[in-house]
Amino acid sequence: MAELDALCDRVAARFTRAEPRRRARDYVRGLTAGLERKNG
């Protein structure tokens, strides 16, 4: 998770509000999760 935190820190300035910043972090976390796909 340290790598994800470092990435989020690098792009945080692109998001002026905290909510979109959290959504972007959660989106990337979901993309990199080792979970099996549930759709398709």
Q: Which residues of 4-26 are buried (b: 16+ CB within 10 A; e: fewer)?
A: eeeebeeeeeeeeeeeebeebbe
Distances, alpha carbon 39 to alpha carbons 20, 35, 36, in Å: 25, 12, 9
Tokens 């300035």 -> residue: 13
The pLDDT of 21-35, averaged and rounded, is 88
What is the model's pLDDT at position 10?
92
Sign, CA torsion 14/24/6/37: negative
Domain ranges of the chain: 2-32
Residue 13: is its pLDDT beyond 70? yes
Q: What is the pTM of this model?
A: 0.70
